[in-house]
Each structure stands twice: as structure tokens, then as C-alpha cells.
Amino acid sequence: MSDLKQHIASAFDRDLEGIQARILKMGGLVEEAILDAAKSLETRDEELAGKVVKGDKSIDALDEELNDEAARLIALRQPAASDLRVVLAVMRMSSNLERIGDLSKNMAKRTGVLAQLTQINGSTAALRRMARDVELMLKDALDAYIRRDEALALDVIDRDREVDQMYNTLFREFLTFMLEDPRNITSCMHLHFIAKNVERMGDHVTAIAEEVVFLATGTKPHGVRVKEDRTSSDPALSADIGME
Amino acid sequence: MSDLKQHIASAFDRDLEGIQARILKMGGLVEEAILDAAKSLETRDEELAGKVVKGDKSIDALDEELNDEAARLIALRQPAASDLRVVLAVMRMSSNLERIGDLSKNMAKRTGVLAQLTQINGSTAALRRMARDVELMLKDALDAYIRRDEALALDVIDRDREVDQMYNTLFREFLTFMLEDPRNITSCMHLHFIAKNVERMGDHVTAIAEEVVFLATGTKPHGVRVKEDRTSSDPALSADIGME
């Protein structure tokens, strides 16, 4: 390899490290946003909710910087196919992280209105557990990315089924609470909105884990992911509500 | 320009045309999926709903092919910065289209369960109008892309506020129906799920229109987009429900 090529290769690696550092920083901020949003709901902490809403701007900015930097890197360094694959995957991961940040912000924004409404026993604690699971999935997805750990990424994808299951259970519970007492309806509508947000966060984490599998193996994990949104098809949800 | 460079440039243009043809084909399929999903809900047409669910596989496949082709194009042709910007924007547009396809599929999947439940007067017609608006926004966003029409793209972004407003109105209406008669609760929970899906489709169309503005002007339309999800903060939603 000529000195020039050596020089170019190491400049690419250095640029790539910059991008990877940025995605990990973004991942850390998004993990924090998920946890803070869920905590603000449970403890009715409007100050913490405001922090999540404001903090989303930093996540958006990192996503934009990462995209610019990645485009510059591709244009200047003209990476080989395998390096290019990494850059494009990181861009898609960044876009998914940005969406999770948005969803956390939307969740935090409900803190104020929920604090004014009838409390539904245990529901914000259940949502916080669900959010905690999603945050741990994200942590593992990012670890799997750093170590190119296919098994860990597949484990993350698998765990999204549990999150979907938690959503299904909550959907059922909210229905039951509403049917039991109409004063619960408004709260439960907001809580359902939030549960659906957390369920979508799980989908975005799964998309990130799928990129990791792609990077580790060169193929996307087709057929691994089985969606478990039973609320769309289970007649029991309309027939047996409140019968458990 | 040497003959070789001329040859490379035209090969890039040809490849880019292939990618653009694919994104427009994908756009057409996604528009159809939105309309069919909304129609299947209103007419309780489970066969049409099944078509949407099956058709989503073609949309996913196009997204994957487009990503592969774009990566191959970048690696082989090493496009100049301005061409690269187009390719990366098209990849992001494709990813947004793929998500809209997913959301249409999720909407269509509710047809069966809604058909078994209490009908809520006018609600599926309202959802269909909302879906129709989103479909027209998508059509215009794709037209704006072809013509690099900044004004049209900004118009699309602006119209997303109306979709958000329709969502807010529906959220309110569903609450009212539930409070009026608990037998409406299950239906309204499913309808709220669908309304939220359509509202998210509007967000993805907005993201596509933002890419078009970026391509036409070189900058993202910051501050143009004002989110109008009043259900997160408007106290009237909890206090005045049913008082209008």
C-alpha cells in the first residue's frame, strides 16, 4: 500500500470514529430521555418533563450533524463497499434514535395533563417498567453494535415481543378501567397514547438491532421478528374484556 | 471532459434514474395502501384489508432493493457531493415511505375487529378523509421531489398541521362518545389507535417534504413545522369534554 493510500485509510478510520462517537453519545442521550420521560410521568415531575422536551433539540442536532459528517466522509474518502455499508447503517441507526427521542418528548409532554386527571392505579408504574425494558434493549443494541455481537442483537429483537406483549396487556387493562368507571376514560385515553409511543420505541430499537445483525453478518434477519400486536385481531379483546 | 469521465457520469445518471423510478413506484404503492386501508375500514371490506397487509411486503422489498442499489451506486460511481446528497435524501425518503406502508398495514389489520364492534357514527368516514388528505400530501411531496418544487414541498409541510388538527378533533370526539355510552369504549380505543396511525403517516410525509426542501435549497426548513398535538397540553380536553 502506498503512503498516500495508508494516509487516506487512516483518515477514513478517524472520521468513522468521530461518527461512531457521535452515535454513542446520541444513544446515551436517548436512553436518558426514555427513562426521564417515564419517571416524570410516574412522579408527576413537570420540571423533569420539561428537561426531556428541551433535551430533544440536542438529539435532533446530533442526528443532523451525523448525517452531514457521514455525507462529507463518503464524498471525500470514497469508502470501499464494506466501509460504506457501516456508514449507511450508522445513518439509519441515527434516524431511528432521533425518532425514539421524539417519542420520549411526546411522552414527557403528557406529564402535565396526566397530573390533572384521575390516577389509574399502577398504570404509570407499568409504563415505566415497559420504558425501562425498551431502554435496556437500546443499551444492549448499542453494545451489540460496538462489539458486532450478532447474538446480542438477535436477543434484543426477540425481547421486543415482550414489549409488544406488555402493550397488549395495557390496552386490555385500560379498556377494563374505562368500562368499570367512565371517570377513568380521559386518563386511559392519554395512557393508551403513551403505551403506544413506548411500543413504537421498541420497534425503532428493533430496527437498530437489525442494522447490527446486518453489519455483523451481511444479511438482514428476515423472519426473526414476529409482531405480537394481538389487539388488531384477537376477538377476545372485544368479547372478554373485564372477564379475566 | 474525457470520454471515460463522460461515460462514468452517464452511468451514474442512469443508475440514479433507476433509483428514482423505484422511489416513485414505491410512492404509488404506498398511496394506494393508505387509500385502500382507509376504505377497507369504512366499508368493512376484509378482502381489501388483506390485500393491503399482503401488499406491504412489496413495499418493504422495494425499500430494501433501493437501499442496496443506492449503496452499490455510491460505492461504484463515487458520486460528487451534490449527487451524493440526492442519493442519501432518496434513501431517507424510502425509509419514510416504508414506515407509512407499515402504518397502513396496521390500520388495515383493524378492519376485522372493528367490523365486530359497535359502529361509531361517521368516525370511519372521518378517518378516511384524514387518510385521503395524507395521501394527497404524499402525492404532492413526490411531485415536488420530481420538479424540485420548494413551494409545493413547503405547502405539504404546512398542510400537516391540518392533519394534526383533525387528530385532535377526533381524539376529543372519541372521548365524548365513550363518556356518553360505555358500549362505545372498545370501538373508540381501536379508532383512536387508527387516528394516531394516520397522524404519524402525516409526520412521515412531512419528513419526505423536508428532504425535498433540502434538495431544492440546500437547507432544512427549520422552524417551519409547528406541531399541533394539543391533546398533550390543552386542559380543556380533560375539563370541557362533551361541553361543546
Residue A11, pLDDT above cutoff 90: no
Average pLDDT, chain A: 88
What are the per-10-residue average pLDDT scores of chain B (244 residues)? 59 86 96 97 95 97 93 88 90 95 96 90 92 98 96 98 96 92 92 94 96 89 53 48 26
| Cell numbers placing A230 | 394481538
Beta strands in B83-127 (DSSP E): none
pLDDT score recorded for residue B80: 85
CATH number at residue B52: 1.20.58.220
Task: Note whether residue A61 is domain-resident.
Answer: yes
For A14-23, A44-53, A125-134, which range has the lowest pLDDT when averaged over its residues? Answer: A14-23
Range of the domain at B143: 3-239
pLDDT score, position A13: 82
pLDDT of residue B48: 97
pLDDT band at A64 (very low <50, low <70, confident <90, very high): very high
Radius of gyration of chain A (CA): 21
Q: Name which residue leads in pLDDT, A240 or A33.
A: A33
- Is pLDDT above 90 for A187? yes
Query: How many folded domains does chain A comprise?
Result: 1
Residue of B nearest to A112 (CA): B233
Residue A104 has pLDDT above 90, yes or no: yes
Backbone angles phi, psi at A70, to 5 degrees: -65, -40
| C-alpha span between A105 and A99 (Å, rounded) | 10
Could you read off the pLDDT of B137-161 as tens digits, one per residue? 999 999 999 999 999 999 999 999 9
pLDDT in tens, B69-98: 999 899 888 888 888 999 999 999 999 999
Cα–Cα dist A31/A29, whole Å: 5
Q: Residue A14 to residues A8, A84, A146: CA-CA distances in angstroms?
A: 10, 14, 16
Cα distances (Å, whole numbers) of residue B27 to A171, B185, B201, B206, B238: 32, 35, 13, 14, 39
Res B37: pLDDT: 97
**Number of other CB atoms surrounding residue B157 within 10 Å:** 22
Q: Is A209 domain-assigned?
A: yes
How far is Cα B219 from Cα B150, in angstroms, rounded to an integer? 11
3-state secondary structure labels for all residues of A49-96: HHHHHHHHHHHHHHHHHHHHHHHHHHHHHCCCHHHHHHHHHHHHHHHH
Are A220 and A85 in contact, with CB atoms under 8 Å apart? no
User: Is A85 part of any domain?
Assistant: yes
A244 is a domain residue: no
How many Cβ contacts (< 8 angstroms) between chains A and B? 111
Query: What's the average model confidence in pLDDT over A19-40?
Result: 96
Side-chain-facing half-sphere of A214: CA atoms under 13 Å: 21
Which three three-digit cell numbers place residue A162?
415482550
B244 lies in a domain? Answer: no
Looking at B110-231, list the stretches that DSSP marks H as alpha helix, in order from N- to C-terminal side.
111-115, 123-147, 150-180, 185-217
A 172-211 residues with CB < 8 A to B: 174-175, 178-179, 182, 185-186, 189-190, 192-193, 196
Residue B75: inside a domain, yes or no?
A: yes
Residues of B in contact with A81 (CB under 8 A): 71-72, 75
- ipTM of this complex: 0.81
Q: Could A237 and B85 be called an inter-chain contact, meaning their C-beta atoms sit closer than 8 Å?
A: no
